[in-house]
Amino acid sequence: MGLNVRAKILPWLLAVSAAVLLVLVLAGVFRAEPAPDDASGQPPRAGVPTRSAPAPEPRAEAAPPVPAASNAPGLPSEPAAEAAPAAAPDRHPVDLEKLRELLPGNLYWETSVPTKDPEVLRKREEEGLRWNELYGKVQSNTATEQEIHQYYEHRRKVSEDSIAFASKVLEQYGAQLPEQEQGLYALSIRMHRTRLEELPRRIEEALARKSAHDQRREAWRGNGGN
C-alpha cells in the first residue's frame, strides 16, 4: 500500500517541480531584457504612457546684419551708396540780408523781422506798450501837443518804412513769389498809403480836441472847480 501511495505522489511532485522551474526560467528572462520603449531599463508603470525621445529643435537661420544708422544729422543710413539722395528743401526766394543792406534804417528790422531772441522780443513788447500808452493819451485828450506830434510822426515812419519794404520785396523778388504773397505785399502798400493820406487830418483833429479839452478845463477851474 505504501508503494501505491508513493507511485501516485511521485508523478504529481514531478509535475509541480516542472511548473515551478518553468515559472522561474520565465521570470529570469523577463528581468534580463529591458523594455524597448524605456532607455533606463525600467519597465513602464501600469497606466503611465511611455514618452518617446523629443525631436531635435530646428536650427534658426542667422538674420542678415542690419546696417547701422549714421550718427551725423542729415546723412542717410549706411550703406550710403544704396540710399537715395534727399531732395533739398525749397528756400524762400526773399533774401533778408540783401534787403537789410538795401534798407538799413527801416523799422522792419526792429519791429517785424522774424526772431526768437528773447531780448529782442522783450524790447519789442516794451516799445509797443509805450506807443499804445501814448496813443491812449492822444485819444483821451491828455497828451501835450508835443506828444501828439511825436505819436503821429511815429505812425508816419511806420507807414513809410512798410511801403518801402514791401515795394523793395516786389521789385527784387516779385516774379518768384506766389500770387497770394504778391497780393499781400500790394495790399500792405495800399493800406499804408491810405494811412499817410489821413495823417494830416488826424493830427488836426487831435490838436483840435486837445484845444477844446483845455478850454473846458480852464472854464471849469474859473467856475471854482479844482
Confidence (pTM): 0.58
Banded pLDDT at 65 (limits 50, 70, 90): very low
pLDDT in tens, 66-104: 333 333 333 333 333 333 344 444 678 999 999 999 999
Q: Identity (one letter) of the amino acid at 31?
A: R
pLDDT in tens, 118-163: 999 999 999 999 999 999 999 999 999 999 999 999 999 999 999 9
Between these two residues, 123 and 26, which has the higher pLDDT value?
123
Q: Which three cell numbers stand for residue 28?
A: 529570469
Per-residue confidence (pLDDT) for residue 20, from 0 to 100: 52
Least confident residue range of 29-43, 61-75, 180-194: 61-75
Integer Rg of the chain from CA: 55
In contact, 164 and 196? CB cutoff 8 Å: no
